[in-house]
Chain A
Amino acid sequence: MASRKKVLLKVIILGDSSVGKTSLMNQYVNRKFSNQYKATIGADFLTKEVTVDDRSVTMQIWDTAGQERFQSLGVAFYRGADCCVLVFDVTAPNTFKSLDSWRDEFLVQASPREPENFPFVLLGNKVDLEPRSISSKRAQQWCQSKNNIPYFETSAKEAINVEQAFLAIAKNALAQQNSAVDLYNEFPDQIKLTNTQKPSNGGSSCC
């Protein structure tokens, strides 16, 4: 089992279909890119181990399907995420417009303890393509309005900014973990003996 220095982060990737969620993940984990489009069915899972500030971090990446007909994995799917990565395609304005609903959907489903401080990261993907329809400025404005979400412009195909973006994702999630309350320093509950014993329901018992 892991020592205290080891951390596992659950990272969820959300965004419209074909913005490049799976490609980003594949570029990050396997350093591979394919031009072929294969829709994710349900969800894909990948693991990546990285070192962040001397801590060994395992990223458990949950890549989701963007298409609505696969959005049936249930509430529990988002539960207990450490970071949520929102992805849009800088050449497709509709994918940018959906960001609000993806973010809201996540917050409703995952219901994190402090929604306003939950670590999101925004990725504008496909910067290698032309023509571009969402400017950096516009994306950054959106991020500012959401409590300063970090923004990265990436290309899964050209491997631009992918490492950097995922490093920021890990750092953000870690910062959140460190600020959380220390759970294990409390004294455990003491058993109080009383003289009333409830009958057991397993069979004959003895008093």
Chain B
Amino acid sequence: MSYLDVEPGAAGESLLLTTDTNATFDNQYMSSSLEEIKNEIEPSETEDSNNESISNVTTYEENSSPMSVDNEDHEDRIQDKKWALMDKHIFVLSLAGKPIYSRYGNEDKLAWLFGVMQTLVSFIQSNDDNLISISAGGINFVFSIKKPLILVAVSRKQESVQQLQNQLNYIYNQIASMLTTSKLIKIYEQRQNYDLRRLLTGVERLINHLLDFAEAEPAFLLGAVQCLSLSSSKRSNISSAIISSCSKIKNIVFAILLANNKLITLVRMKKYSLHPSDLHLIFNLVQSTESFKTVESWAPICLPRFDSSGFLYGYVSYLSEDCQACLLLLTVERDAFHTLKEAKQRIVEKLRRNNCLEAINESLAKPDVNCAESGFLEVRHYLYKSKSTAQFYQPSVSPPYNKYGQVLTDLYKRLHQGLHCSARPLKLFFERRANEAIFAWDTVGFELYIIFEPLVETGNVVAIITRLLNWMKEREDNLFHLQVPTF
């Protein structure tokens, strides 16, 4: 087919590690590039064939927690009801059934419920099986057993089991990124009854943010990263400034510059590459930590897909008062703060001299064009993911979705599920709905998801897509990061 020749944002070499599908996400704790890692982690088995379905589940209201004192009884009950009707609950517990995290409510008060969850998991396990999901009353209960933790999602939303498992993986990785998986495993080897909350003070905030972030940000669904639009010459100036400023420093593994949830550049050590899901955790950390804006920080960060057994140490700082891009220099050295602080100063000087700070600010100030502005009147919004580079592009959100972001998110979830459902993945998906026509296409090189005006003529769709691909192709140097800068 002719459009396959046009593959915006494709490159033989990729800045980021690429993922084929989200399904592979689960079992591939990649390759630690590092000698010592010897697959310590046994990834949880998630075979669809083991899927347990339990249909008659008594609701917890019936056994509702009997801890309320009489005068607070009424109020508690209202609270309980509100709590029970939340769209999506997320729970994390230890294999012993001790609570670690609950998205809503006080996990101490919900201790009884965590006991129930552990018992369900343990009961199915005693028959050499694994509990994956329960569907009842329009609610999906999804379980993910990632030793030494159990993660549970309870969702009333239109999300597939696979998508919920993907979200649970992110939460596990977020916890691992604060402790390392090897430490996590060691803790529970020493003490099965450990109360992990002691070690996770403050991490709750990161998990809360991650959940909201993953909900709103297509990057998580696509397993890709969006770049800040910049001319390729400016982008390569920025990369060179970082490389030359760090040339004499040993053991910097990654240098990452990002702004407004978009990647500006990534420079890496030749031998190592970064997985988008690790980068998402970094975005989450930066976005949810206001204090980075005012003080330079030094933080241990474990990137689970890169190496789940140890920490990288991150120097984190915004470039300057007048340029709100955040720089992270990640090294294996524990005490390189001052060396990296000096490197950052050199980087900022060079960027200022080359007018790069200006270029970044300009791009940040000017939002991406929306579909109508770029001449696609029948298209309301789209997501384009280049598979070979794990990068994606989306135009600005325009009416009606600027006010109803959730609608857009749900449409993309539906399309994504169509292409990635493990039982029957589709290559092409087109659906005309009351309010829009939605389209998805999975090719060797890219995934494309489009929300059309409801009355778009089917005959025109192919022509529009061709024009759209060409439009991106002409701008690919700006929209995507196609170089692979290394130290």
Binding site for B on A (CB under 8 A): 1-4, 6-8, 10, 29-30, 42-49, 58, 60, 62, 72-77, 79-82, 112-113, 177, 180-181, 183-184, 188-207
B residues in contact with A113, CB < 8 Å: 190-191
Across the interface, A49 reaches (CB within 8 A) one of B98, B108, B113, B191, namely B108
| A-B CB contact pairs (8 Å), 22 listed | A1-B101, A1-B201, A1-B204, A4-B201, A6-B108, A47-B65, A48-B67, A49-B108, A60-B97, A60-B112, A74-B123, A74-B125, A79-B95, A80-B191, A81-B96, A190-B310, A190-B311, A193-B332, A200-B30, A200-B31, A202-B28, A205-B14
Once the chains bind, are A197 and B108 in contact (CB under 8 Å)? Answer: no
Once the chains bind, are B13 and A206 in contact (CB under 8 Å)? Answer: yes
* Interface status of B284 (Cβ within 8 A of chain A): no
CB distance from B358 to the nearest CB of A (A): 31
Once the chains bind, are B14 and A206 in contact (CB under 8 Å)? Answer: yes
Provide the bound-state CA to CA distance between A118 and B469, in Å. 67
Provide the bound-state CA to CA distance between A200 and B63, in Å. 48
Provide the bound-state CA to CA distance between A22 and B307, in Å. 47
Question: Chain A: interface secondary structure?
Answer: loop
Nearest first, the 8 closest Cβ-Cβ pairs linking A and B are: A80-B96, A74-B126, A76-B122, A80-B192, A45-B112, A45-B115, A191-B310, A60-B111
Once the chains bind, are A197 and B96 in contact (CB under 8 Å)? Answer: no
Across the interface, B271 reaches (CB within 8 A) one of A45, A48, A188, A207, namely A207
Once the chains bind, are A190 and B30 in contact (CB under 8 Å)? Answer: no
* Interface status of B82 (Cβ within 8 A of chain A): no
Once the chains bind, are A81 and B193 in contact (CB under 8 Å)? Answer: yes
B interface residues, how many (CB within 8 angstroms): 81
B residues in contact with A75, CB < 8 Å: 122, 126
Q: Which of A1, A29, A113 has the most CB of B within 10 A?
A: A1
Across the interface, A200 reaches (CB within 8 A) one of B13, B111, B273, B309, namely B273
B residues in contact with A60, CB < 8 Å: 97-99, 111-112, 114-115
B residues in contact with A194, CB < 8 Å: 33-35
A77-B122 contact in complex given A8-B111, A200-B273, A201-B31, C-beta closer than 8 Å: yes
A205-B197 contact in complex given A77-B122, A200-B30, C-beta closer than 8 Å: no
Once the chains bind, are A190 and B200 in contact (CB under 8 Å)? Answer: no
* Interface status of B121 (Cβ within 8 A of chain A): yes
A72-B126 contact in complex given A80-B96, A197-B33, C-beta closer than 8 Å: yes
* Interface status of B270 (Cβ within 8 A of chain A): yes
* Interface status of B182 (Cβ within 8 A of chain A): yes
CB distance from A79 to the nearest CB of B (A): 5
Once the chains bind, are A76 and B14 in contact (CB under 8 Å)? Answer: no
Closest to B25 in A: A202
Q: Which of A6, A8, A45, A206 has the most CB of B within 10 A?
A: A206
Provide the bound-state CA to CA distance between A1 and B101, in Å. 7
CB distance from A31 to the nearest CB of B (A): 10
Once the chains bind, are A181 and B201 in contact (CB under 8 Å)? Answer: no
Chain B 114-140, CB-CB to A under 8 Å as 1, else 0, gives 111011011101100000000000000
B residues in contact with A207, CB < 8 Å: 270-271, 273
A residues in contact with B98, CB < 8 Å: 8, 10, 60, 80
CB distance from B315 to the nearest CB of A (A): 16
A residues in contact with B198, CB < 8 Å: 2, 4, 184
A residues in contact with B312, CB < 8 Å: 191
Closest to B270 in A: A207
B residues in contact with A188, CB < 8 Å: 180, 183, 300, 310-311
Once the chains bind, are B34 and A181 in contact (CB under 8 Å)? Answer: no
* Interface status of B475 (Cβ within 8 A of chain A): no
Once the chains bind, are B125 and A76 in contact (CB under 8 Å)? Answer: yes
Once the chains bind, are A1 and B197 in contact (CB under 8 Å)? Answer: yes
A1-B200 contact in complex given A46-B112, A202-B19, C-beta closer than 8 Å: yes
CB distance from B80 to the nearest CB of A (A): 13
Provide the bound-state CA to CA distance between A24 and B310, in Å. 47
A residues in contact with B251, CB < 8 Å: 193
Q: A29-B66, A191-B310, A193-B251 are in contact. List 13 more A-B contacts (CB 8 A).
A: A2-B108, A2-B198, A8-B197, A46-B66, A76-B95, A79-B95, A80-B94, A196-B35, A200-B28, A202-B18, A202-B20, A203-B17, A205-B273
B residues in contact with A192, CB < 8 Å: 34-36, 332
Across the interface, B190 reaches (CB within 8 A) one of A183, A199, A205, namely A183
CB distance from A56 to the nearest CB of B (A): 8
A residues in contact with B192, CB < 8 Å: 79-80, 112
Once the chains bind, are B31 and A30 in contact (CB under 8 Å)? Answer: no
Q: Which of B14, B66, B113, B300 has the most CB of A within 10 A?
A: B66
Within 8 A of A (CB), among B14-49: 14-15, 17-20, 24, 28, 30-36
CB distance from A102 to the nearest CB of B (A): 19
A10-B97 contact in complex given A183-B191, A189-B309, C-beta closer than 8 Å: yes
Closest to A188 in B: B311
Provide the bound-state CA to CA distance between A193 and B311, in Å. 12
Closest to B250 in A: A193
A residues in contact with B269, CB < 8 Å: 193
